[in-house]
Structure 1
Amino acid sequence: MENTENDQNDHEKETKNDTPAEANGVEEEEEDELSKEIMARHFRPSIIKTEAWEGYMFAGLEIRIKESTDLYGAMLWPSAMVLCHFLDTHREAHNLEDKNIIELGAGTGLVTIVTSLLGAKVTSTDLPEILGNLQYNVNRNTRGRCRHPPLVTELSWGKDLEKRFPRASCHFDYIMAADVVYAHPFLNELMETFEHLCQDNTVILWAMRFRLDPENSFVGRFQKLFHLEELYNLPGLKIKLYSATRRCPRSQHLDTT
């Protein structure tokens, strides 16, 4: 008798879950296909000769990226590929030709390279120890290919922002950020940097991989300052892509703490 009741309860649970599973099935399948399409942009050389590199296909061109395995920030993470795929496949909605762009935490430089190949004027930033490898990748993949040679420069979040990027003269159409939010101790400085660089008409395109609670809490804090729109949600990759703009004019101030 007990087994029969358990079987009936299990059947009822399955029946209740049938409808939402079917309703979500198509959406989940589409998200899975998008994830596969994005990751297919990555390839490895069949033969490694003098230098190890990873290959990517964006803007109709082959891009070769050298990673620095001894530096966490000089490795390429899938969030950068997600952001590049979006830009490459949404050129009409986000026409980057002659737009002023700054990338935060550029790392290996893939986003900087792709946005430059798509015609933007790009300022690529990261910590001093990252810049050597970043500059190498940018030079290798943009020289002779871009109408605006990208600028690679140091930016430590929260430090000397007004001196390095004066609000009166530095106006960016886009701020690009891929996988800059993770369990590091500089989330407050990152928020301050977003707030300083973002003008009233600036669009932030931000891809992030959700790992731990700090990522979730950062999104909540971010929404106090910025309107947030979800562009991609890729559960298989644990990555979301957001678009954001300021909630209020710069003349007004919101407490981010």
Structure 2
Amino acid sequence: MDMCSSSAKHPVLLEKTKTEDNEDKSQVKFQENEFIPKLQENTVHSQVIGECSDTRKDLSDAGSSSLPTLQKFLPTNYNSYTKEHYSYAGKNIIIQESIESYGAVVWPGAVALCQYLEQHSTELKLQGATVIEIGAGPGLVSIVASLLGAHVTATDLPDVLGNLQYNIFENTHNCTVHQPEVRELVWGEDLELNFPKSAYYYDFILATDVVYHHYFLDKLLTTMIHLCQPGTVLLWANKFRFSTDYEFLEKFKQIFNTTLLAEFPESTVKIFKATLKWD
């Protein structure tokens, strides 16, 4: 059954609330030509994700009473936008991004993890799994996980949530079993208040290119630890650029059981599977 023809509820209006240790035969090494993003050239802008309904037309046809809904999904007001086209899970995906914000660009780790999720979705048992993405950016990974059948919560900083929610709604409305949720998550802040362990359990935590030259690596690690519970699997894809990236990896391995799942040598992207070490 094509989920794009089924009905789905609009997302709820956002509220601002506060191994490499075990490399083995299962490790996947991709050839250079396999890391080319699945860009779809000459795709008409109005053709949003395969057979999905044209949500902009639906909203405009609904009359003036739908104006608040239309405004709700306007992207963040960047001055310069580009659109990238991808194809995963049998669907065309259009991502609106901007070079004005790190959080509005699709980085190499996101493309790598999307390829891995698509190729290993059955093995990972993504169908029906609860998934949270931290640092979701423009939302490509969350969109792909949702198209593969997961219950997805996409999170990021407040200033990128508008564009994130816009991309997710445009690419998943009437196309997924479970409509993704978009939430604010500031690394290391109010974690138990906003994501209490007693109320939220995630089968998977997804993170792509969250480690680079910034000052919040300790808070990132704290966030990863908080979201993990027994049975939670963390899938982390990252392009390794700086010595601080490798320093974080070593600290990460002290806290998590870590396996290198795949690597893309030409882009220095690695994908890790990790589970929290429990005393």
- Distance (Å, rounded) in 1 between the aligned partners of 2:195 and 2:29: 38
Task: Say which of 21, 34, 37 aligns to 2:34.
Answer: 37
Matched, 1:63 2:60: no
Answer yes or no: is the 8 Å Cα contact 2:130–2:201 preserved in 1.
Answer: yes
Q: Deviations over 1:36-64 (max 9, x none)?
A: 22324123436779x84110010011100
Q: Which runs of 5+ in 1 are unaligned?
A: 1-29, 253-257
SS at match of 2:121: coil
Aligned pairs for 1:217-236 within 5 A: 217-236=247-266
Which letter does structure 2 place at the counterpart of 1:37? E
Task: Say which of 142, 146, 161 aligns to 1:116.
Answer: 146
Aligned pairs for 1:138-153 within 5 A: 138-153=168-183
Answer yes or no: is the 8 Å Cα contact 1:32–1:236 preserved in 2.
Answer: no
Q: In the alignment, which residue of structure 2 is the partner of 1:89?
A: 119
- Distance (Å, rounded) in 2 between the aligned partners of 1:207 and 1:125: 16
Q: In the alignment, which residue of structure 1 is the partner of 2:213?
A: 183
SS at match of 1:242: strand
Aligned pairs for 1:1-257 within 5 A: 31=29, 33=31, 35-45=32-42, 52-248=82-278, 252=279
Give RMSD over aligned pairs: 1.8
Answer yes or no: is the 8 Å Cα contact 2:30–2:263 preserved in 1.
Answer: no
Go from structure 1 to structure 2 and tell me whether the alpha carbon gap of 1:126 and 1:89 turns closer, same or farther (over 3 Å shift): same
Answer yes or no: is the 8 Å Cα contact 1:182–1:212 preserved in 2.
Answer: yes
Answer yes or no: is the 8 Å Cα contact 1:100–1:173 preserved in 2.
Answer: yes
Which deviates the most, 230-239 or 35-44?
Answer: 35-44
Which letter does structure 2 place at the counterpart of 1:116? S
Larger Rg: 1
Structure 1 runs of 4+ aligned residues shifted over 4 Å read: 46-49
Answer yes or no: is the 8 Å Cα contact 2:129–2:150 preserved in 1.
Answer: yes
SS at match of 2:254: helix
- Distance (Å, rounded) in 1 between the aligned partners of 2:168 and 2:33: 26
Which letter does structure 2 place at the counterpart of 1:76? V
- Distance (Å, rounded) in 2 between the aligned partners of 1:111 and 1:80: 6
Q: In the alignment, which residue of structure 2 is the partner of 1:21?
A: none
Which letter does structure 2 place at the counterpart of 1:106? A
Go from structure 1 to structure 2 and tell me whether the alpha carbon gap of 1:101 and 1:195 turns closer, same or farther (over 3 Å shift): same
Identity score, percent: 43
> TM-score by structure 2 length?
0.75
- Distance (Å, rounded) in 2 between the aligned partners of 1:229 and 1:88: 19
Answer yes or no: is the 8 Å Cα contact 1:123–1:150 preserved in 2.
Answer: yes
SS at match of 2:86: strand
- Distance (Å, rounded) in 1 between the aligned partners of 2:108 and 2:172: 21
Q: Deviations over 1:156-192 (max 9, x none)?
A: 0000000000011110000000100001000000000
Higher helix share: 1
Aligned length: 219
Go from structure 1 to structure 2 and tell me whether the alpha carbon gap of 1:53 and 1:240 turns closer, same or farther (over 3 Å shift): same
Q: In the alignment, which residue of structure 2 is the partner of 1:24?
A: none
Go from structure 1 to structure 2 and tell me whether the alpha carbon gap of 1:44 and 1:194 turns closer, same or farther (over 3 Å shift): same
Q: Which runs of 5+ in 2 are unaligned?
A: 1-27, 47-80
